[in-house]
Amino acid sequence: MSISSSSASSNRASSNRASSNRSHATGVSDSGRWSTKRIAIYALFVALTMVTSFIELPIFPAAPWLKYDPSGIVCLIAGFAFGPSAAAIVSVLGFAPHLFGDPWGTLMAVGVALALSVPASLVYRRWRSRKGAVAGILLGAVLALAVAIGGNLVVTPIYAHMTVAQVAAMIVPILLPFNLLKFAIHGVVTFLVYKPIANLLRK
Amino acid sequence: MFRRILYVSIYRYKKGPDSPVNDTDSPIVALDDVRFSYDDGASWAVDGVGLTIRAGERIAVVGANGSGKSTLGRIIAALAAPDSGTVTLFGRVVFDGEAHADRYREARHDIGAVFQNPEDQIVTTIVDDDVAFGPENLGVPHERIGERVDTALRQVDMDGFGVADPTRMSGGQQQRVAIAGMLAMRPRMLVLDEPTAMLDESGRAEIMTVLDDLHAQGTTIVHITHSAAEAVAADRVIVMRDGRIAEDAKNDDENGHASGTNPLSRLSPTAPPDTRGSQENDIVSSSFDSPWRGFAEDARPSSPGSPWRGFATAAGIFPSLGSPWQGELSGESRTEGVDTPHTDVAPAIRDTATPSPIVTMSHVSFAYDHDHPVLRDVNLTIDAGETVAIMGRNGGGKSTLTRLLCALETPSGGDITVDGIAVARSPGRRCKPPSKRDRRRLRGVVGYVMQHPERQLFAETVAEDVAYGPGNLGLSGDELDARVRQTLDALHIGHLADRSPFGLSGGQQRMVAIAGILACRPRILIMDEPTSSLDVDAAARIHRLLADLKAQGVTVIIVTHDEAEAALADRVVELRDGEITNRNAQSETNPLSRLTPTAPPEPRGSQRNNTVSSFSGSPWQGELSDERRTEGVEPPDAGSRSDNASFVARLDPRVKMVLTLVLMFTAFAIGTPVQLGVAAVAVGAILAASRLNPVAVLHSVRLFLALFVVMSALNVFFVRTGTPLVHLGPVPITDDGVWTAVVYAGRLALVVVLGAVLLLTTTPTRLTDAFEALLRPLRRLGVHTGEIALVMSLALRFIPTLTGETKAIIDAQSARGGSIESGTPLQRLRALTAIIVPVFAGALRHAENLGLALDARCYEGGANRTYYRLLRISWRDGVFAVFCVLYLVVLFAVPLV
């Protein structure tokens, strides 16, 4: 599966096809906009993010109100497979359905997803190897961790009657370990599933 | 008829003087020495095809898997350019060594393309909007689109369904909507690639009727099909073989007697659906030597009235199977059986002479919710070694019944015992799920083959995938390797062991997936629609496997819509409205008579006998369990158009969305009880103006509300300021604490109620329209706003599809012993991988189909696009805006007073 568009040509999946003359493109969709294939893939990845963002798994017994959802994995994979712009679109649109139930939390979730997936895909774009993937995930996780904790400092007082100082007191015992665990799961799973998925994309 | 001719001529007139004039004899498609390769020339999917199609022709393209017929279809439909040759469409050369994009674009506007999977061609959740999508892309003026939509829906006999949700329709209805979406673009030619492959019998008949009508009205039709019965309806049949046209002959009359050579006469009913043009090989051509043949001799119960015999002889329905099959069934001695190494996949046979029950269900009932019982007082006993077919309409409870047997669902009442394991017991009022240990034992006994089991493939190699189940059951090392090898060999797919499962053909994938379940050596095998959307050869292979399993003494339960398949079973259990009616498979009129390849497709609404009609309503072979699937929907009430909609419902969605978000975000500024009161009054007014039932709204957000109440209640204990009201032990409860709790819970509740009112009064289409309109200013910055909005709209439309698939995969993997809820962290991660990879594979499969469907609908983005629904600001929006401003002024003024 390839995306016949200039900005996605850096990814391995499409470069195979793009380099040969056998893309079988009719040329209809090459006029500086997104190809239908690209739209379709983004749409399905966004849908997948939406679906997974509604999953809530309690992974941290010390703070049962903090739930793990696997949507970050989809954002990471979108970025690895289709580049930073895909990561950004999937991260922003994928959380939109939550906006009308949890407005501030949605903004924060989008921020965390962007901080995780966009830098990771930027690193991986320059450095296409397993090491590059690991480095990308680590960088993304550090940035996302910062955004998550910063976001909690701002958002938690809006939802609960707490001062920023009270939230800050929760960073070390609760927020930090929870988010570390969360990004560790994101990273490990992405690392494990990316190869088979990349094979699918190359097909 | 008249109307159509009139409109065709008007349409031609509208084409203007520039376009080539087509009288009925001039070719509209001309291919010359066209070649097409998927692998840079290593093999040729289409290999030197020359072909001319004239206006008004109805052509059937048939051929085996990998014969290149789908690829040919895409070339004809202007969806793909070949590698070499010349392609002329409507008199203009679109390809002659290079693709001429502008001419391709123009040609595509005149061609409609319909694909196999109806679901992947739907772009939105309202039929009208979906059908309008093509005309919008063509830039048809807004005022004309409605008329086109209505005409197109009438042509496929779907008028009155304009406001229905196509994602909830039966496959046949969806496919008709997809055809309408093409007709609304007024194509001169319709190219259909196996449009009925995913449909049941009644769906097929619906589509064939529509094609008959369209052809009678003058539309040129190219119908790629694997059904000889469907090909008979064409007036010209092209047989593809190895990328070449093997035969090309006219059907003289409607009975299919062709002049000269009739290609249909030699067309074995082997024409598999291939979506990708991937090279099919191996399994199809592999021999059908049975590894269980030796077993069959000894173990087959020698019932004289065996349904197998009746089936095999009744039809010659699988002539390609030839004698080995019939020989085996009739119990004739064979000499050629010795050359196949014998390996058994299932456990040794028990004494079949004295059948003993292996599955018992007594007084089992089940409901997803109280109002909708799915199963009612079901009593069912299945003996060891029996093959039982479960039939019945969708919604009848078939899939639920099998899920109960696998302990994927717990009944609301009744007892279930499977091979001595207490799967469900209801000692008191509540039914208890099995213990962890029993569940584990059950996984070793029951094999569950979900619908489209190839969708659960995940590993990098076939061998690894097949090893997943037995590995979860505790096998490892050499023992595991041996088990995998035996299983693959027994299914004749040993040579695929090191291949990626994703590179295989559809038929091979299904065999691999089934091997993954048989590798656990289940004593009971449950298969949910095991042959759905398989070609005849692959289906025959599955049917053969059923016979082998039976010979082995494995108890087999198949859920099926297919009478012929049910006839393979010893017994048919029919579920109707959640209750069982037993019937004898052989006592009915022979269902095969309707399925012989030469039988013409039944016109819709024709007389059917009773047996069939009780199944024919089952429209949908999708991936959700059928109980959650709706039947073909009825046309909605005429009055449900927005004429009598409420004030809030009629607001412009842009205004409504923006102002609602403003109200939601500002609600977090509420800090005092008085402000909360003001806001509550405002939200109450909006709720009243929406004419929604307040109880229903609160019900829809009840989970949020419960959470808020609990969260806020904690404040009561932590706020120490204010006047103490009571002391709970050492903790003072103050009035400040109580008010804080009320304000925090109250403002969150108002936020979610506002969100719910917005979502309940605005369709997803309107929301994405508004989203696009609001994004539009960003276009100046180079943002692809139209595309982003389309992505959003398509994503929302695919949520239910992906949710259903994800659930199905989780169930199927957990039936193989993979669970993310138990085991070591490593096992859990592996279980997660086994779920995530297939989910992504599914998403990519949908994306590929969807991309083609968008092409077929001529989505080209850009400025030429028109809009079926216009957004208009009315006086209501002004009133609402003033209301919101006043409210905000009051809200922020209150603390100052």
The reported pLDDT for the residue numbered B290 is 33
pLDDT > 50? residue B249: yes
d(CA B683, CA B758): 12
Chain A residues touching residue B852 (CB < 8 angstroms): 36
- Residue B718 confidence (pLDDT) above 80: no
B197 and B96 in a common domain = yes
Neighbours of A139 (CB within 10 A): 17
Can you list the positions of beta strands (E) in B315-372? 357-367
- The SS3 of residue A199 is helix
Given an 8 Å threshold on Cβ–Cβ distance, is B791 in contact with A160?
Answer: no
One domain for residues B685 and B580: no
Q: What is the mean pLDDT of residues B554-558?
A: 94
Strand-pair category, B731-734 with B189-193: unpaired
Domains of chain A by start residue, with CATH: 35-202 (1.10.1760.20)
Q: Least CA distance to A55: which residue of chain B?
A: B803
A200 with B104: Cβ contact below 8 A: no
Do B616 and B608 form a contact (C-beta atoms < 8 A)?
Answer: yes
Which of B225-239, B420-434, B801-815, B856-870 has the weakest average pLDDT?
B420-434
Confidence grade of residue B167 (pLDDT, cut at 50, 70, 90)? confident
**Residues 6+ positions from B660 with CB-CB distance below 8 Å:** A100, B754, B755, B757, B758
Verify that B285 and B262 share a domain, yes or no: no
DSSP B457: -
Chain A residue at shortest CA distance from B504: A203
Percent with pLDDT over 70 in chain B: 77
How far, in whole angstroms, is CA A147 from its chain's centroid? 14
| Helix (H) or strand (E) segment spanning residue B54 | strand B46-54
Closest CA to B223 of B351, B337, B53, B459: B53
What are the start-end ranges of the E strands in B399-541? Answer: 413-418, 421-424, 446-449, 524-528
**The two three-digit tokens of residue B433, written as one number:** 């799920």
Say how far apart CA B43 and CA B278 lie, in whole Å. 10
CA-CA distance, B313 to B321, in Å (whole number)? 12
Calculate mean pLDDT across residues B156-182: 89
> Hey, are the CB atoms on B755 and A101 less than 8 Å from each other?
yes
> CA-CA distance, A141 to A133, in Å (whole number)?
12
| Contact (CB<8Å) B792/A46 | yes
Q: How many domains does chain B have?
A: 3
Residues B251 and B289 in one domain: no
Query: What's the rounded Cα separation, in Å, for the pair B444 and B745?
Result: 49
Top-confidence residue, B683 or B301: B683
What is the nearest CA distance from B156 to chain A, expressed in angstroms? 27
Q: Does the residue B886 lie in any domain?
A: yes
Single out the residue of B250, B325, B254 nearest to residue B288, CA to CA.
B325
Average pLDDT, chain A: 83
CA distances from B262 to B228, B407, B474 (A): 12, 53, 57
Q: Which of B564, B585, B606 is the last residue of a domain?
A: B585
What pTM value is reported for the model? Answer: 0.78
Strand, coil or helix: what is B392? coil
Nearest to B441 by CA among B421, B424, B469, B425: B421
Report chain B residues whose CB lies below 8 A from the CB of A159: 711, 744, 748
Cβ contact, residue pair A26, B80, below 8 Å: yes
Here the tokens at position B721 are 């300021």
User: What's the confidence (pLDDT) of residue B427?
Assistant: 66
Q: Do residues B349 and B228 both lie within one domain?
A: no
Residue B475 located in a structural domain? yes
Q: For B578-621, how does the pLDDT look when each residue is reduced to its tens digit (9 = 90+)? A: 788 765 544 443 333 333 333 333 333 333 333 222 222 222 22
- One-letter amino acid for residue B327 of the chain: G
Closest residue in chain A to residue B835, using alpha carbons only: A193
pLDDT number for residue B310: 29
pLDDT at B637: 54
Best probe of the B interface among A69, A100, A162, A197, by most B CBs < 10 A, is A100
Same domain, B569 and B674: no
The pLDDT, as a whole number, for residue B556 is 95
Residue B467 resides in a domain: yes
Q: Is residue B591 part of a domain?
A: no
Give pLDDT, residue A29. 64
User: Do residues B213 and B95 share a domain?
Assistant: yes
In a domain, B752, yes or no: yes
Element (H, E) at B704: helix B702-718
Shared domain for B570 and B669, answered yes or no, is no
Residues of A whose CB is below 8 A from B833:
189, 192-193
User: Whose CA is closest to B79, among A143, A27, A96, A54?
Assistant: A27
Average pLDDT, chain B: 78
B748/A25 Cβ within 8 A: no
**B545 and B453 assigned to the same domain:** yes
Same domain, B286 and B253: no
Helix (H, G, I), strand (E, B) or coil at A7: helix
3-state secondary structure of B414: strand
Contacts of A34 in chain B (CB under 8 A): 784, 787, 861
The answer to whether residues B573 and B391 touch, using CB atoms and an 8 Å cutoff, is yes
Instruction: Give the strand pairing for B571-576 and B555-559.
Output: unpaired
Please report, in angstroms and rounded to a whole number, the separation of the first and last CA atoms in chain B. 75
Give per-residue pLDDT as tens, B462-481: 999 999 999 888 888 899 99
The answer to whether B99 contacts A33, with C-beta atoms less than 8 Å apart, is no
Q: How large is the greatest C-alpha to C-alpha distance in chain A, in angstroms?
A: 63
pLDDT, tens only, B332-381:
333 333 333 344 444 444 444 566 889 999 888 888 777 678 888 889 99
Q: Which domain CATH number covers B461? A: 3.40.50.300
Round to whole Å and give the CA distance between A144 and B208: 55
Considering only CB atoms, A43 lies closest to which of B36, B660, B794, namely B794
Say whether pLDDT at B279 is over 60.
no
Cβ–Cβ under 8 Å, residues A4 and A25: yes
**Which regions in chain A score pLDDT beneath 50?**
1-21
| Rg value, chain B, Cα | 31
**What is the domain range of residue B513?**
281-356+385-393+444-585
The torsion angles phi and psi of B84, rounded to 5 degrees, stand at: -150, 170
The residue of chain A nearest to residue B707, with distances taken between CA atoms, is A65
Identify whether B736 is part of a domain.
yes
Q: Looking at residue B490, what is its pLDDT?
A: 87
| B586, B587, B589, B590 alpha-carbon torsion, rounded to 10° | 10
SS3 assignment, position B597: coil
Per-residue CA distances from B397 to A101, B72, B375, B696, B792 (Å): 34, 41, 6, 28, 34
Q: pLDDT tens-digit profile of B376-425?
A: 888 999 999 999 999 877 667 888 888 899 888 888 888 999 998 888 88
Do B243 and B286 fall within a single domain?
A: no
The 10 Å Cβ neighbour count of residue B778 is: 12
Look at A161 and B740 and tell me if their CB atoms are within 8 Å: yes
Cβ–Cβ below 8 Å for A47 and B802:
yes
> Which domain-ending residue is among B559, B585, B611?
B585
Q: What's the pLDDT at B708?
A: 81
Note the Cα B391 to chain centre separation in Å.
Answer: 20
ipTM for the whole predicted complex goes beyond 0.90: no
DSSP state of B730: T
Distances (CA, A) of B149 to A1, A87, B146, B154, B418: 33, 36, 5, 9, 53
- CA–chain centroid gap for B799, Å, is 12
Instruction: Kindly report the length of chain A.
Output: 203
Residue B578 lies inside a defined structural domain of this protein: yes
Both B453 and B558 in one domain: the answer is: yes
Query: Rounded to whole angstroms, how far apart are CA atoms A188 and A45?
Result: 19
Residue B68 lies in a domain: yes
Q: Report strand pairing: B189-193 vs B111-114.
A: parallel
Neighbours of B147 (CB within 10 A): 12
Residue contacts between A and B (CB atoms, under 8 Å): 200
Domain end, chosen from B266, B292, B313, is at: B266
Out of B712, B803, B841, the one facing A51 most closely (by C-beta) is B803
